[in-house]
Amino acid sequence: MLTNADLEKIVDTNDQWIMDRTGIRERHIADPDVATSDMAYEAAKIAIANRGIAPTDIDVIIVCTVTPDMLFPATACLVQHKLGAKGAWGFDLIAACSGFIFGLTTAVQFVRAGAHQRVLVIGADTMSRIIDYTDRSTCVLFGDGAGAMIVEAAEDDEPGFIGHLNEIDGSGGDYLKMPAGGSRMPASLETVQNRLHYVKQDGQNVFKYAVRKMFEVCRDLLATHGLTAADVKVIIPHQANRRIIMAAADRLGMTEDQLIINIDRYGNTTAATIPLATQDAIRAGKLKKGDLVLFAAVGAGFTVGANLWRWGY
C-alpha cells in the first residue's frame, strides 16, 4: 500500500493537493517479485471459480495491459500456462486505460460470431514498474491491480451486450506515453539515464480531452440505443481522476447513486480499473443481474471506449 503520507516523504507533495486534484488516498503496489502475469493469473482464477467452470473451458484469453511481463512472449501465453487453460489461444491488447473496454468489445465479437464459447478478458497493470517516483505530477496517480471477466453467450434470449462505441485518435499520442524500450528508442544507457522508460504525461491536455470525451462517448452510445443516462442503473467509469468522472457525470446528468468511484483506494490501475470497480459495485449491491450498466474510459493513444451491457451475472 502506498498512501499519500508515504508519497509526501518521497516527493514534494501533500495529501490535501492529491485529494483535491485527484481524489486518490492510497494505491496498491505489487511486491518486487510479482509481475503483471501473476496478478492477471490471480484475477483469472477468481473469475473462473466464481463462474464454476474449469480453466480448460476457456477458449480465448485477452490480457489488456501496458505493462506486460516482457515485450514477448505475450502475457496471455504466460497466464494460459499458469492457469492450465489447455486449448485456449489468446493475445495481449494494448489500449492503455481503455484496454479493458476494447477487450470486452473484442470478446463479444468472438462469441457473437459463434467462433468461441467463452472468452476470458483480463485487465492487469503493474504501473509501479513504469512510474517515475521522482516525478510528482505522475507518481501520485497510479497503482497496481488486476481484474477479470468471462464473456460468454447468454443462456436466455435476453441480450447481455447492447453496444459499443470505441475510438482511437493517434494525434494525441504524445500527451501520454513511455518513450523508450520499444523499436523507436531501444533501451540504452542514455535512455535509462534520461529516465525515458517511465510514463511521461502532459496532464492538463490529457485532463481536458478526458473530460470532453468521457461525456461524449457515453452520451453518443446511449443516444444510439435511444437511451439517456437516466435509463442506466450504474456507470462504471475508468478511474483516472475523480474530477474527470464527476465532470462527465455532471454533464450527463447522472446522480451520485449511479456512479461507481473507488479511485480513493486504488488510484489509476490503467486496464484494471473497470473490473475492480465492477467488483466493488457488485459487492455494494449496486449492480445486479438484469441491470443496465455503462462502462466508459479514455486513455493514452488517445483511446476512447464505452460499452453498454445488460448485466448477466
Ligand X SMILES: CC(C)(COP(=O)(O)OP(=O)(O)OC[C@H]1O[C@@H](n2cnc3c(N)ncnc32)[C@H](O)[C@@H]1OP(=O)(O)O)[C@@H](O)C(=O)NCCC(=O)NCCS
245 binds ligand X (CB under 6 A): no
Choose, from 238, 241, 262, 307, the residue flagged as catalytic: 238
Query: Which one of the spans 16-24, 41-49, 71-79, 145-153 is the region binding ligand X (CB under 6 A)?
Result: 16-24
C-alpha cell at 248: 462527465
C-alpha cell at 219: 452520451
Contact (Cβ atoms closer than 8 angstroms) between residue 70 and residue 54: no
Contact (Cβ atoms closer than 8 angstroms) between residue 123 and residue 272: yes
Provide the minimum distance between the beta carbon of 241 and ligand X in the complex, in angstroms, as a whole number. 4
207 binds ligand X (CB under 6 A): yes
User: Is 218 assigned a catalytic role?
Assistant: no
Nearest Cα to Cα of residue 46 among 149, 118, 160, 155:
149
User: Is 116 assigned a catalytic role?
Assistant: no
Contact (Cβ atoms closer than 8 angstroms) between residue 33 and residue 64: no
Provide the minimum distance between the beta carbon of 93 and ligand X in the complex, in angstroms, as a whole number. 16
C-alpha cell at 247: 465532470
Look up cell 503520507; give the residue. Answer: 5
User: Is 238 assigned a catalytic role?
Assistant: yes
CA dist 162 to 226, 238, 277, Å?
12, 19, 20
Mask: binding to ligand X, 90-129, rule CB under 6 A, as x and -? -------x--------------------------------
Contact (Cβ atoms closer than 8 angstroms) between residue 271 and residue 75: no
Q: Which of 28, 45, 82, 136: binder of ligand X (CB under 6 A)?
A: 136
241 binds ligand X (CB under 6 A): yes
67 binds ligand X (CB under 6 A): no
Q: Which residue is nearest to ligand X (CB)?
A: 203
Q: Which of 50, 117, 137, 191: binder of ligand X (CB under 6 A)?
A: 137
Contacts of 249 (CB under 8 A, 6+ apart): 235, 237, 256, 258, 259
Nearest Cα to Cα of residue 292 among 216, 228, 234:
234
Q: Which of 163, 181, 203, 312: binder of ligand X (CB under 6 A)?
A: 203
Residues designated as active site:
97, 238, 268
Residue ranges in contact with ligand X by CB under 6 A: 13, 17-18, 21-22, 97, 136-137, 140, 176, 203-204, 206-207, 210, 240-241, 244, 268, 298-299
